Amino acid sequence: MSEIFTGIPKIKYEGPKSRNPFAFKYYDAEKIILGKPMREHLPFAMAWWHNMCATGIDMFGKGTADKSFGVEKDTMEHARKKVDAAFEFMDKLGVEYFCFHDVDLIPEADSISETNKRLDEISDYIKVKMEQYGKKVLWGTANLFGNPRYMNGAGSSNSADVFCFAAAQIKKALDITVKLGGRGYVFWGGREGYETLLNTDMKFELENIAALMHLAVDYGRSIGFDGDFYIEPKPKEPMKHQYDYDTATAIGFLKQYGLDRDFKINVEANHATLAGHTFRHELRVAAINGMLGSIDANQGDLLLGWDTDEFPFDIYETTMCMYEVLMAGGFKNGGLNFDAKNRRPSYTYEDMFHAFILGMDAYALGLIKAAAIIEDGRIDSFINERYASYESGIGAKIRAGEATLEELSEYAEKLGKPALPSSGRQEYLESIVNSVLFS
């Protein structure tokens, strides 16, 4: 098999002083951080759709990047070439995992049975490559938003026939995920939402989405899938309102419909900011509910109101993300999927590598700095001390659930007037973070 990314070497760690554009400055796979090698803290994954398929098409113009890899596009030969390219790419970068939608892997045929045949064929080919290169599937999913039949959603569609097509795609995507040993299965409800309540039965649609997820869980478990199902929240785009608005909404939904034992959350950074939250907020909400599953590692642009899917470069963000991940005990089945794309004018093969080097280094540095914040200890101990009034006396009684409203009222009356709570010291804490980041 001939090399596709010719002239691009295996990317190695050279350290922060290196000026080599094809070297890591911070990602040193075997370096031990808090007792574990970096590569275990940071299970990086390549998103098949952005990296192997997307060419930079936008609403105003054609693609700029050539992803034909030298053969005719939308053929099975092209599908195989993408596999060759993907494994060479992951191998050169030391990326261990990948994520895919069904239709990223093959050209979708007119009939579902022909599409499924193509998926069987390509997954045989992928499986061989995975063994050869030692690569793994972080998660698989079905694209239930691209085909015109999903104009009104998949589980939430008004058409029962469309619901069945969604079920068929999910079944096959689960088959392939299990066949390839995938650790997760994602539901991103891009079209599970509405444009106007004038034509929408919201309760009916939510019940149907839950029913589809239950069918997926039952089937997945019956064929031996023991990984995590994920909801990937996003508030809007493409729909005006999406049901999985944010992490809190998705968790409420999962609990209401009895799906919370099988599902966790796949938090995407850019989706968090679209929902009006920080990335860190979404991670924390997932973590305190025991549902921090996986991460789509990208970055938005605060000046733009849509999902720009940039490669992450903001060290403050990656540090806070890794702080949340470390405090939650690290990843179990999840990882860091670069659901990110090169900017349209960065269209060459070299740019694809630069993007991953940027993202992997940004997360490696974030991990190093997050570990340093934890080891420094000042932030943690400040938070603990801030709630000290609950450690004894009336506070301890409240926490133990032993106080009554009358008792608390009497206590307050006796006190007359409480002292002001202790200072939040935000600026002091921010300066600690800066001093850890830049020391």
In the complex, the smallest distance separating the C-beta of residue 299 from Co ion, rounded to whole angstroms, is 12
Site for ligand XUL in 292-331 (CB under 6 A): 296, 307
Asked if residues 289 and 249 have their Cβ atoms less than 8 Å apart, the reply is no
Part in contact with Co ion (CB under 5 A); list of ranges 223-231, 235-243, 254-262, 267-275: 267-275
232 binds ligand XUL (CB under 6 A): yes
Which option in Co ion, ligand XUL, none does residue 324 bind, with CB closer than 5 to 8 A by kind? none
DSSP category for residue 299: B
Asked if residues 272 and 281 have their Cβ atoms less than 8 Å apart, the reply is yes
Which option in ligand XUL, Co ion, none does residue 141 bind, with CB closer than 5 to 8 A by kind? ligand XUL
* CB of 266 or CB of 365, closer to ligand XUL: 266
Q: How far apart are CA 389 and CA 421, in angstroms?
A: 10
Is residue 361 part of the annotated active site? The answer reads no
* CB of 26 or CB of 97, closer to ligand XUL: 97
Which option in ligand XUL, Co ion, none does residue 186 bind, with CB closer than 5 to 8 A by kind? ligand XUL
Binding Co ion (rule: CB under 5 A), the pick from 228, 268, 282, 361 is 268
* CB of 81 or CB of 101, closer to ligand XUL: 101
Residue 292, classed as helix, strand or coil, is strand
What's the N-to-C CA distance of the chain in angstroms?
Answer: 47
In the complex, the smallest distance separating the C-beta of residue 24 from ligand XUL, rounded to whole angstroms, is 25
In the set 104, 246, 262, 307, the catalytic residue is 104
**What would the two tokens of residue 247 be?**
């992490």
Is residue 339 part of the annotated active site? The answer reads no
Binding ligand XUL (rule: CB under 6 A), the pick from 339, 349, 356, 371 is 339
Asked if residues 412 and 398 have their Cβ atoms less than 8 Å apart, the reply is no
Part in contact with ligand XUL (CB under 6 A); list of ranges 19-27, 182-190, 283-291, 377-385: 182-190
Full 3-state SS string of 219-270: HHHHCCCCCEEEECCCCCCCCCEECCCCHHHHHHHHHHCCCCCCEEEEEEHH
Site for Co ion in 203-262 (CB under 5 A): none
Asked if residues 334 and 294 have their Cβ atoms less than 8 Å apart, the reply is yes
Q: How many helices (H) and strands (E) does the chain have?
A: 16, 14
**What would the two tokens of residue 426 be?**
């935000």
310 binds Co ion (CB under 5 A): no
* Phi, psi at 295, each rounded to 5°: -135, 135
Q: At what angle do helices 315-327 and 426-437 cross, to 10 degrees?
A: 100
Binding to ligand XUL by CB under 6 A, coded x per residue (else -) over 264-293, reads ----x-------------------------
Q: How far apart are CA 369 and CA 319, in angstroms?
A: 6
108 binds Co ion (CB under 5 A): no
Binding site for Co ion (CB under 5 A): 268, 296, 339
Binding site for ligand XUL (CB under 6 A): 101, 141, 186, 188, 190, 232, 234, 268, 296, 307, 339
- Residues identified as active-site: 101, 104
